[in-house]
Structure 1
Amino acid sequence: MEQLQWLGVVRHGQSTGNVIAQDAETGGLEAIDIPERDADVPLSELGREQARAVGKWLAGLGEDERPELAVVSPYLRTRQTAELALEGSGVPMVVDERLRDRELGVLDLLTGRGVQARLPGEYARRARLGKFYYRPPGGESWADVLLRLRALLRELREDHPGGRVLCFGHEATVFLVRYLAEELSEARLMEIAHATAIANTSISTWRRHGGELRPELFNDVSHLHDVGTPPTKQEDVDAEPV
């Protein structure tokens, strides 16, 4: 079976929730006061500028380099990012719920300090099991997210043989697509995740050479030199839905 020729992933632009969550973490708060449900958190004004910068990057690609399809998480901040980035490009966009962010269940809207203070049992269980397999009550582990990403990528390979597909997703999406594309181990993925802050509207891409996808870009923000890339990495906690 013929495979995808090119695969890219863009994290959504800075959201209003990113700003609130960062303030809560740096302020030592236990809870993150975001008024919307996770699926309805919009982009900030900076996030909109970042999305337009992705559009300029796309416009600079050659005709035979440009993606033929964009697949987008249904969350508002991600759809807004894709709409702004794809405006005028002619690249068709489809929304697929399998690209949605990781669901955090009982940990939703808690900072790292909040999880430790309010749910010490879950804090300890997560420390024991590790980020890859730990599933908070009512939520998902990274392994759970991988199950839906595997299904999505299999369909894309079957429906677009030799094609070029750009996904718009979330921080976990970038890490886990890399895990699948490069056939990483859990240990190697955790090394990368611990050391890397996935920036808003960063671009990660892989191109097929022979029988394998090889990385071209990872967490690249060179298109944002005139926009700004505020830090997004929180300490190793689960307050990551925004």
Structure 2
Amino acid sequence: MSGAVELVLVRHGESEGNVAATAAQLGGIELIDVPARDADVLLSPTGREQAAALGRGMAAVAPDRRADVVLCSPYARARETAEIAVREAGWDVPVRSDERLRDRELGILDMLTQLGVERRFPDEAERRRWLGKFYYRPPGGESWADVALRLRSIVAELNALGSGHRIMLVCHDAVVLLFRYILEGLSEREILDLASTTTVANASTTTFVRPSGEGAWTLQDFNQTSHLSSLGVTVTEHGGDASVQPR
């Protein structure tokens, strides 16, 4: 491990958008009542507890195994998660934002549930079914392929790192899944099957390791939530951040 490069991916803690989206889904409502634009949505009280629990788990990591740097999505919920966790852990490492880690942008479908999309934009709903989740790009938004493209530049930088580096990235559920798509060389079908059967839990960790200087990335663990066990509910029931339609 000493000569390896280690990458830890963290999904942000539960956000106010997660709470609102779940309420909209359960209530059969078309529009999600989010309190701010997507980039400014904060953590819920539960999300802050999850971030602190993540930090307590990080505190147990040996000093020589701590991250060199923590990069986070510029979205408020990810930044909050990173800052709370690092502070709770007592790590003396910088927290830096990187816009490439932001969540998938939904364009005109932002703030809509699946029901809302079907009723307000039936042509878009049909186009999405035809193209499939991976390649469908809503007007003004991004496809999963678009997100993968921007993440590939981060992977190129990670591949150029020398031995012994450890990097933590605090981001979003779709971003975590698309890192798996890139680092494991998954097909469209494989990543969509994974997305349809797995909820990336709030404040969960996913770890990849790469041998020094060369070789493939190996998935060490996925969607790890043992550090949240004392909190009770840890998994957000829907897959998106401020939306319960396919992200």
| Shared fold (TM-score, shorter chain, > 0.5) | yes
Equivalent residues in 2 for 1:61-140, closer than 5 Å: 61-87=61-87, 88-140=90-142
Root-mean-square deviation (CA, aligned residues, Å) is 1.9
Secondary structure at the counterpart of residue 58 of structure 1: helix
State the shift of 1:239 in Å. 3.4
1:226 maps onto 2:230 in alignment:
yes
Secondary structure at the counterpart of residue 217 of structure 2: strand
| Match in the other structure for 1:239 | 245
Structure 2: segments with no counterpart, 5+ residues: none
| Match in the other structure for 2:22 | 22
Structure 1: segments with no counterpart, 5+ residues: none
Secondary structure at the counterpart of residue 101 of structure 1: coil
Q: State the TM-score, normalized to the length of structure 2.
A: 0.91
Tell me: CA distance 1:94–1:4, structure 2 relative to 1, closer, same or farther (3 Å).
farther
1:12 and 1:169 in contact (8 A); partners too: yes
User: Which stretch of the first structure deviates more once superposed, 57-66 or 113-122?
Assistant: 57-66
User: Which stretch of the first structure deviates more once superposed, 219-228 or 74-83?
Assistant: 219-228
State the shift of 1:188 in Å. 0.6
Secondary structure at the counterpart of residue 94 of structure 1: strand
1:68 and 1:165 in contact (8 A); partners too: yes
| Match in the other structure for 1:205 | 207
1:12 and 1:200 in contact (8 A); partners too: yes
| Distance in 2 (alpha carbons) for counterparts of 1:231 and 1:59 | 22
| Distance in 1 (alpha carbons) for counterparts of 2:195 and 2:85 | 26
Tell me: CA distance 1:77–1:14, structure 2 relative to 1, closer, same or farther (3 Å).
same
State the shift of 1:204 in Å. 0.4
Q: State the TM-score, normalized to the length of structure 1.
A: 0.93
Kindly provide the amino acid, as one letter, of the partner of residue 196 in structure 1.
Answer: T
Secondary structure at the counterpart of residue 212 of structure 1: coil
Secondary structure at the counterpart of residue 48 of structure 1: helix
1:53 maps onto 2:53 in alignment:
yes
| Match in the other structure for 2:153 | 151
CA deviation vs aligned residue, 1:113-148 (integer Å, no higher than 9, x gap): 110111111111111111110000000000000111
| Distance in 2 (alpha carbons) for counterparts of 1:54 and 1:45 | 14
Tell me: CA distance 1:105–1:4, structure 2 relative to 1, closer, same or farther (3 Å).
farther
Which of residues 185, 188, 191 in structure 1 aligns to 2:190?
188
Kindly provide the amino acid, as one letter, of the partner of residue 5 in structure 1.
Answer: V
| Distance in 2 (alpha carbons) for counterparts of 1:104 and 1:24 | 17
| Distance in 2 (alpha carbons) for counterparts of 1:9 and 1:142 | 18
Kindly provide the amino acid, as one letter, of the partner of residue 6 in structure 2.
Answer: W
Secondary structure at the counterpart of residue 132 of structure 1: coil
| Match in the other structure for 1:161 | 162
How many pairs are equivalent? 238
| Distance in 2 (alpha carbons) for counterparts of 1:36 and 1:7 | 31
Q: Name the % identity.
A: 49
Secondary structure at the counterpart of residue 111 of structure 2: coil
